[in-house]
Amino acid sequence: MSITVKIDLGYEFDVKAKASDVFDLLSDVPASVAHFPKVEKLTDMGGGVYQWEMEKVGTSQVNIQTVYASKYTSDKAKGTVKWTPVKGVGNAQVGGSWKIVDNKKSTGITLAIQGEIEVPLPGLMKMVVAPVVEGEFEKLVEKYIDNLIKAFGGEA
């Protein structure tokens, strides 16, 4: 038995760094992921595909570990970094994109993430578990954004 928790997040913010510097960091998957909290291991599977293994969350009796792989593509001319889920790896499917816009005095960044996480718990627990999983994922992404904002010299 398992339940599926859907994730759909969107963020927009401006930073002081130059757009080219922002793109260089966000398109370098290991460098970008270094700012993401609670990543236990990132594995380069080749061909732009990376497998994420998150730290276990929960108690010693009940815990989950999110594992997934995504294929990354970047386009400097368009200012985009995109990732699409790789089927058959782990217990989640995660995709999304960065959009980087040069506003001359600052850089505009838009982040979109969509995903599904399979949690090995009975369906009856969905009403309790789904908001917790969504909230945890959201907290991690917000901490990631805070870490990136610091790396980019602060918000503009």
Which CATH number does the domain housing residue 77 bear?
3.30.530.20
Domains identified in the chain, total number: 1
pLDDT digits (tens, 9 = 90+) for 108-119: 999 999 999 998
In a domain, 40, yes or no: yes
What integer pLDDT is reported at residue 62 of this predicted model? 67
- Cα–Cα distance between 75 and 66 in angstroms, integer? 28
What integer pLDDT is reported at residue 138 of this predicted model? 95
- DSSP of 39-71, one letter per residue? EEEEEEEETTEEEEEEPPEE-SSSEE--EEEEE
In a domain, 54, yes or no: yes
In a domain, 53, yes or no: yes
What integer pLDDT is reported at residue 56 of this predicted model? 86
Measured between alpha carbons, how far is residue 81 from residues 72, 139, 145 in Å? 7, 22, 15
In a domain, 91, yes or no: yes
What integer pLDDT is reported at residue 60 of this predicted model? 72
Closest by CA position to 141, among listed 54, 49, 64 = 54
Q: Are 126 and 3 in contact (CB under 8 A)?
A: yes
Low-confidence ranges of the chain (pLDDT < 70): 61-62
Which residues form the domain of 44?
3-151
What integer pLDDT is reported at residue 124 of this predicted model? 86
In a domain, 156, yes or no: no
In a domain, 12, yes or no: yes
